[in-house]
Amino acid sequence: MKMVHLFYLSSFFILLIFNFSGAGAGGATVPPDQCLKLRLLRRENSPSLSDTLFSDLLRLSKLNHPRNPQLPLTSGASAGVGQYFVDLHVGSPPQRLLLVADTGSDLVWVRCSACRNCSARPSGSAFLARHSESFKLHHCYDKECQLAPRPIDAVCNHTRLHSPCQFDYSYVDGSRTSGLFSSEEMTFNTTSGRLTKHDGLSFGCAFQVAGPSLTGRSFNGANGVMGLGRGPISFVSQLGKNFGHKFSYCLMDYTLSPPPTSFLQIGGSLNNTVEQSRINYTPLLVNVLSPTFYYIGIQSVTVGGTRLQINPSIWSIDESGNGGTVVDSGTTLTFLAEPGYRQILAAFRRRIKFPSPAELTPGFDLCINISGVSKPSLPRLSFKLGGGSVLSPPPRNYFIDTADGVKCLALQPVNSPTGLSVIGNLMQQGFLFEFDKDRSQLGFTRHSCSL
What pLDDT, on the 0 to 100 scale, is given for residue 146?
92
CA–CA separation, 334 and 213 (whole Å): 19
What percent of the chain is modeled with pLDDT above 90? 43
Which of the residue ranges 10-24, 38-52, 311-325 has the most confident prediction, judged by mean pLDDT? 311-325
The whole-model pTM stands at 0.82
Cα 53 to Cα 6, 50, 267, 361, 362, distances in angstroms: 11, 5, 33, 12, 10
Query: What pLDDT, on a 0 to 100 scale, did the predictor assign at position 365?
Result: 95
Beta 109-113 vs 127-128: how paired, if at all? parallel
| Residues 230 and 252: beta-carbon distance below 8 Å | no
Instruction: Please state the rounded mean pLDDT for residues 270-297.
Output: 89
Q: How confident is the model at residue 160 (pLDDT cuts 50, 70, 90)?
A: low
What number of residues does the chain have?
451
Distance CA 77, CA 175 (A): 10
- Hey, which residues does 183 pair with through a beta bridge? 136, 202
Among 15-29, 254-268, 433-447, the range with the most confident prediction by mean pLDDT is 433-447
pLDDT score recorded for residue 241: 77
Q: What pLDDT digit, counting tens, does each position of 371-407 carry?
A: 999 889 999 999 999 999 999 999 999 999 888 999 9
Contacts of residue 418, defined as CB under 8 A and 6 or more positions apart, other chains included, come to 64, 66, 320, 322, 323
Region 151-160 average pLDDT: 77
| Residue 313 vs residue 86, higher pLDDT | 313
Q: What is the pLDDT of residues 359-374, one digit of tens each?
A: 888 889 999 999 999 8
- Checking if the pLDDT of 445 tops 90, the result is yes
| Residue 76 vs residue 185, higher pLDDT | 185
Closest CA to 311 of 349, 339, 282: 339
At 4 the pLDDT is: 34
When pLDDT is averaged across residues 98-125 and rounded to a whole number, the result is: 75
* 87/96 Cα distance (integer angstroms): 7
Range of 133-147, 179-193, 273-287 with top mean pLDDT: 133-147
User: For all residues of the chain together, what is the average pLDDT?
Assistant: 78
Per-residue pLDDT at 128? 93
Q: What percent of the chain has pLDDT over 70?
A: 73
Instruction: Give the residue with greater pLDDT, 439 vs 416.
Output: 439
Flag whether pLDDT at 193 surpasses 90: no
- The arithmetic mean of pLDDT across residues 165-184, rounded, is 84
**How confident is the model at residue 263, as a pLDDT?**
81
The residue among 392 and 160 whose pLDDT is bigger is 392
Q: According to the model, what pLDDT value does residue 31 have?
A: 44
- Write down the pLDDT at residue 74: 30
Q: Residue 371: left (phi > 0), alpha (psi -120 to 50), or beta?
A: beta
Tally Cβ neighbours within 10 Å of residue 373.
Answer: 12
- Beta strands 95-102 and 224-227 are parallel
Q: Which domains occur in the chain, in start order? A: 7-267 (2.40.70.10), 271-445 (2.40.70.10)
- pLDDT (mean) for 2-31: 32
The larger pLDDT score, comparing residue 166 to residue 117, is at 166
Q: From the DSSP assignment, how many helices (H) and strands (E) are in the chain? A: 5, 28
Report the pLDDT averaged over residues 307-324.
94
Instruction: For 323-339, give one letter per residue: b (16+ CB within 10 A) or e.
Output: bbbbbbbbbbbbbbbbe
- What span, in angstroms and rounded, lies between the C-alpha atoms of 234 and 59? 19
pLDDT higher at 228 or 63:
228
Give tens-digit pLDDT for 207-225: 988 877 677 666 666 888 8
| pLDDT tens digits, one per residue of 117-128 | 555 455 568 999
Give the mean pLDDT of 180-189: 88
Q: What is the dihedral of CA 214, 219, 221, 224, to 10 degrees?
A: -50
Please give the Cα distance from 268 to 74 (Å, whole number). Answer: 29
